[in-house]
Structure 1
Amino acid sequence: MIMDLNNTIALILGGGRGTRLFPLTKIRAKPAVPLAAKYRLIDIPISNCINSGLNRAYVLTQFLSESLHRHLRQTYTFDHFSGGFVELLAAQQTVNSGTDWYQGTADAVRKNLVHLRESWIKHVLILSGDQLYRMDFRDMMKTHIESGAAATIAGIPVTRKDASALGIMQVDDTGRVTGFVEKPQTEEEIAKVRMEPSWIDARGIESQGRDLLASMGLYIFDKDLMVDMLENSLHSDFGKEVFPEAINTHKVQLHLFDGYWEDIGTIRSFYEANLSLASKNPPFDIRNRHSPIYSRPRFLPPTIMGDAKITGSLIADGCRIGDNVTIENSVIGLRTVIGDNVTIKDSVVMGADFIEMRGAERDGKLPVGVGAGSVIQGAILDKNCRVGENVRILNEAKVDHQGEDDDLQIRDGISIVIKDGQIPDGFSC
């Protein structure tokens, strides 16, 4: 049975300041961070919605939302007959909700309940704007309806080493959630929510030593229940407060998932997820024709390259790559310019927002792109970077954290050139 989502609205939570993704979030909201050479993080949950037959969604955010708003406006335009929309709801001052910023995910939804008063809305799908996964939400809705639950949560089997960063659930034989521990740190806490691996195996998923079920932060709520819980509490967060309370007062069902899922919450996870997509057999297939990833259509020329050796990499449109260039295990974004004799390894280069014409007046700035003779390894170059000639960005000193306002900063041992940053000729680190 295929469930339709005609009575469902998606709420995609844009997150807070995104401090763990700084400096990529210095000038943009977390869901607007570029991904896999040509997409943005927000394209993942929206694409999952569209591929599930759900074309009505609100994106809730409050910090640096201008570029995100522009991306949504230029990308997700539906015909006049489907009634589809993807709209951004930024924090704003209203008569009823006050003047405060969102205090958390639940508070963000509470302050936008006016948009959920439509009589056609029966269910609310709560999604995160910073995760990489592919899911048909019709399957999750099927679990929700057939179980008779008031709320359903997606969960994934994990090992104990992953538990300390996730919310861990315990369920009974029917899949009803009966216990929850947020980020357990001790064996005693883990023991409270441990599952028998045989329970997982019996549901067609190989446990492979995994005996814990982690919340993916994806929820389906009956709208009336969700509205009632938010209006009659001061809870600020779904994962820490609303969901645990719902377990005690209503039937909450697990929707078991075992596909690829990555929470892009830190610089390290962002870096590793991007490079994994460039591998020969990526854990997440961005080329799946049955469930494509949608993004803004662009009319760019093909990439042109000289005598270059490229292995295990993603190369986007509109690039210009010079002679004697080596690119290994890297992601090269839209409109990237790479000079002659350049080596780029294990790096994410986000490209540029524009094509800079040769000979253009630059007011003393270096050309956009990576200059001749430079070596980049283990780094992230944000958009519109101007890296000079004979630059070496290798983090040879193995620094873990460095810089706050510099054009080149280091987080989690990864060198990052910030958006519009400029690195002078001959620089080395």
Structure 2
Amino acid sequence: MRAIGIILTGGKNEQLGQLAAGRAVAAMPIASSYRAIDFTMSNMANSGIQKVGVVTQYNSRSLIDHLSSAKWWDLGRKYGGLFIFSPYLIRDNFLWYRGTADALYQNISFLKRSNEPYVIIAPGSHIYKIDYAKLLTYHIEQEADITLVCKQLEESNCSNYTVVQMDEKKRIIHLEDKPLDPLTNVISMGIYVIQRTLLIRLLETISSEDRFDLVNDLLIRYRKKLKMMGYL
């Protein structure tokens, strides 16, 4: 596949209580023998993605232990493979990830060393099934700069999500993060496709301006400048 995968495992989530106590949400047990991240990992492996980077931060030990056997997803290969990234402390870097965009920027060398032209970014805590190969084909056919996977909710209260408004051709014309008065009931799933070199350029730009959030500082800020498409 012509894309690498990056899985963001997120920080602490107090809403889940004891289910996520002492562990990353992505490591939360599902049906006793699975972890939440298994669904995203399986989606990527089944879609033909051969190189996956997992960005960890909060209480990542159990998650790293779980991922230690990459052969589960056929990622223990000579070319490609599974890469796990945690915040590291050096003289010029003494902070944890300050946001989702910063988490990507601190691991930008992974993007620069890769040869695949596209990047698929996905959360590691969601339970879903998707064919990323079809998503990538859609992204290329639409000649999009960034494609967001979206979902239409049945409930009208979408204030806890990034709300998406699209035109009749599914081009995104408005994005708002956790709005008090949502314009639609279509939300972003936190899954994105973007050209690798474009992502590198955008991350370097917003990082130089001390901006750290993927949604507010990149997607919303550049929505009018870039062609963003929704994938339902």
TM-score relative to the length of structure 2: 0.91
Deviations 1:201-248, CA, capped at 9 Å, x for gaps: xxxxxxxxxxx3211110011111111111111332222331112312
CA distance in 2, matches of 1:140, 1:95: 40
* 1:242 maps to 2:218: yes
1:159 is displaced (CA, Å) by 3.5
> Equivalent of 1:216, from 180, 186, 189?
189
> Equivalent of 2:29, from 24, 28, 34?
34
Distance 1:119 1:45, change over 3 A: closer
Report the secondary structure of 1:220's partner residue.
Answer: strand
Where in structure 2 are the equivalents of 1:408-419 lying within 5 Å?
none
Distance 1:254 1:225, change over 3 A: same
Q: Give the length in aligned residue pairs.
A: 228
Let me know the Cα RMSD of the aligned residues: 1.9
**Paired position in structure 2 for 1:407:** none
Which piece of structure 1 moves more, 32-41 or 152-161? 152-161
Report the secondary structure of 1:138's partner residue.
Answer: helix
* 1:88 maps to 2:109: no
Report the secondary structure of 1:156's partner residue.
Answer: strand
**Paired position in structure 2 for 1:169:** 164
**Paired position in structure 2 for 1:145:** 140
Report the secondary structure of 1:23's partner residue.
Answer: helix
Where in structure 2 are the equivalents of 1:64-83 lying within 5 Å?
64-76=59-71, 78=74, 83=79
Distance 1:108 1:19, change over 3 A: same
* 1:255 maps to 2:222: no
**Paired position in structure 2 for 1:52:** 47
**Paired position in structure 1 for 2:102:** 107
Preserved CA contact (<8 Å) 1:171 1:254: yes
Distance 1:74 1:238, change over 3 A: same
1:29 is displaced (CA, Å) by 1.6
CA distance in 1, matches of 2:75, 2:157: 43
* 1:63 maps to 2:69: no
Report the secondary structure of 1:86's partner residue.
Answer: strand
Report the secondary structure of 1:139's partner residue.
Answer: helix
Residue identity in the other structure for 1:86: L
Preserved CA contact (<8 Å) 2:45 2:75: no
Distance 1:62 1:81, change over 3 A: closer
Distance 1:162 1:38, change over 3 A: farther
**Paired position in structure 2 for 1:13:** 8
> Equivalent of 2:19, from 11, 21, 24?
24
Preserved CA contact (<8 Å) 2:9 2:56: yes
**Paired position in structure 2 for 1:126:** 121
1:101 is displaced (CA, Å) by 0.4
1:95 is displaced (CA, Å) by 5.5
Deviations 1:74-128, CA, capped at 9 Å, x for gaps: 35364775624122101112466x1100011111001000111125121111100
* 1:228 maps to 2:201: yes
* 1:180 maps to 2:175: yes
Report the secondary structure of 1:59's partner residue.
Answer: strand
Report the secondary structure of 2:200's partner residue.
Answer: helix
Report the secondary structure of 1:249's partner residue.
Answer: coil
Where in structure 2 are the equivalents of 1:284-303 lying within 5 Å?
none
1:131 is displaced (CA, Å) by 0.3
Distance 1:81 1:127, change over 3 A: closer
Distance 1:62 1:80, change over 3 A: closer
Residue identity in the other structure for 1:53: G
CA distance in 2, matches of 1:101, 1:90: 9
Which piece of structure 1 moves more, 57-66 or 39-48? 57-66
Distance 1:143 1:123, change over 3 A: same
Deviations 1:333-384, CA, capped at 9 Å, x for gaps: xxxxxxxxxxxxxxxxxxxxxxxxxxxxxxxxxxxxxxxxxxxxxxxxxxxx
Bigger radius of gyration among the two? 1
Residue identity in the other structure for 1:227: I
CA distance in 2, matches of 1:95, 1:106: 21
1:47 is displaced (CA, Å) by 0.4
Distance 1:142 1:26, change over 3 A: same
Preserved CA contact (<8 Å) 1:76 1:85: no
Q: Unaligned stretches of 5+ in structure 2?
A: none
Q: Which has the higher helix share?
A: 2
Preserved CA contact (<8 Å) 2:50 2:75: no
Identity %: 29
TM-score relative to the length of structure 1: 0.50
1:9 is displaced (CA, Å) by 1.1
Q: Unaligned stretches of 5+ in structure 1?
A: 195-211, 257-429
Residue identity in the other structure for 1:169: V
Report the secondary structure of 2:69's partner residue.
Answer: helix
Residue identity in the other structure for 1:228: R
CA distance in 1, matches of 2:152, 2:14: 27
CA distance in 2, matches of 1:134, 1:28: 23
By relative contact order (CA 8 Å, sep 6+), the higher-ranking structure is 2
Distance 1:79 1:20, change over 3 A: closer
